[in-house]
Amino acid sequence: MAGANTVTLTDEGFDSDVLQSDVPVLVDFWAIWCGPCRMMAPVIDEVANDYVGKVKVGKLDVDSNPQSASRYQVRGIPTLLLFKGGQVVEQLVGAVPKDKVVEALNGHI
């Protein structure tokens, strides 16, 4: 359920793929059964395409990877966390329009 420029993230690779990344990383915490998550999928893929080389965009299935969701106290999905330098610098919860995601990203690139 990820586009060509959207990476699939896992608990096992989270530290290396997200926390140690040289570029900001937008993580979409989602689940297949979540309607709002499915609504956000095209937005996430568009953002991934728009920000190639500037921001890494990834999706983390909370059912298959509960450790990362718990680690960052993700209580509702979809939750978007923007990591920069290994730290959360932005958080968006729920289905949000693309312009809100872009606004959050532009403040950190």
Residue 4: exposure state from Cβ atoms within 10 A (0-12, 13-18, ≥19): exposed
Nearest alpha-carbon partner for 27 in 35, 18, 37:
18
Whether 13 sits among the annotated catalytic residues: the reply is no
The one catalytic residue in 18, 26, 37, 40 is 37
The one catalytic residue in 2, 9, 27, 34 is 34
Whether 37 sits among the annotated catalytic residues: the reply is yes
Q: What angle do CA 48, 10, 86 make, to 5 degrees?
A: 70
Active site members: 34, 37
